[in-house]
Chains A and B, each alone.
Chain A
Amino acid sequence: MLLGVNNLKTYFYIECGVVKAVDGVSFSLDRGETLAIVGESGSGKSVTALSLLNLISTPPGKILEGEVLLEGENILEFSEKSLQTIRGNKIAMIFQDPTTSLNPVFTIGNQVTETILTHQNISKKEAREKTVKLLKMVGIPNARGRLYDYPHQFSGGMRQRVMIAMALSCEPDILIADEPTTALDVTTQAQILELISGLQKELNSAIILITHDFGIVAGLADRVLVMYAGKAVEYADVDAIYYRPCHPYTLGLMKSVTRLDEPRREKLQSIKGSPPSLIDVPPGCSFHPRCEFAIDVCRKKIPKLIEIEPGHFSACHRVGKGGLEVI
């Protein structure tokens, strides 16, 4: 096991209350594997990713409990200095918005070289050569010539490629991609997704993919963690999630997306209501006000994540050994 996360809790203490952004999330990841964390806005998926690298600004945030085991060592206990060697070297991150993740006043070459130099003990010239190699690898045409260009001279897709090049510069074991294509167009998204999966095969790295798009998950992920209001509600292999969803929320999401591969439907099935505010999460199962299967116990008791078949976990009172009772 490359990465193990146990019972991670990250809360934010703000004026109007406590935001339980991540509330007891656990998962594990192996080399070469892709884990997708799926959820809507406010589900805590991005905070989970930031917590892995201990990148939560304190205050107002705080990692309350839990452990993040990287090759058996709990990196949450590391000092800031040793964490810095892990960030970028062992775990690297790509953000959603490539327009704000690059510094507009430095050239592309400068920024990538700088990243390499902070993590590796090589000469400036070698770093520059490596930059060219990386930019070529992520498919930037005329890489050497574009070293001296500024971020605004790159398109959104090209900037995201640069971000990927920077993230891969130290050949990290784990790549965290937080909505890497949300800001991009479909055709560019297809390019970037192909690039990511191609590089994964080449480098055998593990990927944590954070997204709200079930289409992207289907193509890239091996395992899926579905989050709702800061908690994991379902955790299973990608096939199990798509063909045998065992949580009403996952099921509802699957049914409510418009899709190209099935006949047009008269009406979409939808989940009523909207995702809750993390400041006042409903008592009991946080999904119960929106759930069509909710019964009394759902309003009172928080459901535990239980294993309903090997490797398939679901947090729902109405789920039994054979899957969702009601279906």
Chain B
Amino acid sequence: MLKISKGLHLRDMGAKTNETSLWREIWLSLRKNKPALLGLVVIIVLVFVAIFAPLIVPCEEAIGFYPKEILRPPGAQHIMGTDDLGRDIFARVIWGSRVSVEVGILAVAFGLVIGLFMGALAGYKEGLADTLIMRAADIFFAFPYILGAIAVMTVLGPGLENVIIAIGVLEWAYIARLFRSSVFSVKVNDYVEAARAIGAGDGRILLKHIFPNAMAPVIVYSAMSVGTAIITEAALSFLGIGMQPPSPSWGLMLADSRAFMSSAPWMMCFPGLAILITVLSFVLVADALRDSLDPKLKGAV
């Protein structure tokens, strides 16, 4: 019988919760969270590096063959050393960020487009649409994530576009399931009923009333998934079915470094670090988003 803060909500005490525009709310919460802010800075730097890679190092240094420079340790000329073909690791890490950023963002965007549509349809319409979509999603959950990606890649063949498609095809099911349940809980609110009562159509109700209020968990999940997508790309490339040589991908670089683990550890260290820092940044941001957007943690003492 002893429940301590039961029924004690800040709302009752007259305190106010921060519901404003979704993006403003996200910014306010990120601003207060130091690690997340750091993560955000890293992500922004990464995106800039990816965009302006040609201005930083020429492409040739990343994909050419330089027999005189083979396996140089880090030094003044090559700050991260060179690999077994004499290519500058720094250049490859920089150019590799292009692949990672592209895969991370586009694959999740691809998954979002399908997932949000399917999730909204399932959650809003219920009935047969819901049953069909969710059972279809169940088929995707039946495969372990990486196994599913390998299966799709085997069918599609290697290449950047195909990596993006493979990851996006797997992501949609997770996003759809998450968004569906979120739509479910939002659509029972009186303001949705009120919108219907003033004559709003389904499109308007979904876009104006349900989406802004149901997006929070999907945003958190997406931030997390960008990191997962980058790892998956690395894993696929490592296994030899993702990006193909000589394109500079962090996963591919790791694969190449296996034979030289003891003689040239820098070949493994720098792409590994790049993956670690990138993924960590996304996780930190996602974590902060969860803290601020999760309605269950909000408003209670």
Contact = CB atoms under 8 A, between A and B. Distances in A.
Direct touching of A and B (C-beta under 8 Å): yes
Interface of A: 12, 14, 16, 19, 21, 41-42, 46-47, 50, 53, 55-57, 60-61, 87-88, 92-93, 95-97, 100-101, 115, 163, 166-167, 178, 275-279
Given A55-B4, A97-B7, A12 B301 contact: yes
B198 to A, nearest CB: 26
B15 interface: yes
Contacts of A61: 5, 301
Nearest to A55: B4
Nearest to A95: B6
A314 B264 CA distance: 85
Given A46-B7, A97-B7, A277 B1 contact: no
Contacts of A53: 2
Chain A interface SS verdict (over half): loop
Contacts of B6: 95, 100-101
B7 A57 contact: no
B144 interface: no
Nearest to A20: B13
A93 B7 CA distance: 14
Nearest to A17: B15
B3 interface: yes
Contact of A96 (B4, B5, B7): B7
Contacts of B12: 41-42
Contacts of A163: 1
Contact of A88 (B1, B7, B10, B13): B1
12 contacts: A14-B301, A42-B13, A46-B7, A50-B8, A61-B5, A95-B6, A101-B3, A101-B6, A163-B1, A166-B1, A277-B15, A278-B13
B16 interface: yes
Interface in B1-36: 1-8, 10, 12-16
Chain B interface SS verdict (over half): loop
Contacts of A95: 1, 3, 6-7
Contacts, number: 64
Contacts of B16: 16, 277
A284 to B, nearest CB: 18
A12 B4 CA distance: 14
A314 to B, nearest CB: 24
A178 B12 CA distance: 15
Contacts of B14: 19, 42, 275-279
A56 B10 CA distance: 14
A88 B2 CA distance: 9
A304 B14 CA distance: 24
Contacts of B5: 57, 61
B31 to A, nearest CB: 14
3 cross-chain pairs, A with B, having the tightest CB-CB distances, nearest first: A277-B14, A57-B4, A278-B13
A178 B15 CA distance: 21
B10 A14 contact: yes
Contact of A21 (B2, B7, B13): B13
Given A93-B1, A167-B1, A19 B15 contact: yes
A278 B15 CA distance: 7
A275 B12 CA distance: 10
B272 to A, nearest CB: 39
Contact of A14 (B2, B3, B15): B15
Contacts of A178: 7
B126 to A, nearest CB: 24
A46 B10 contact: no
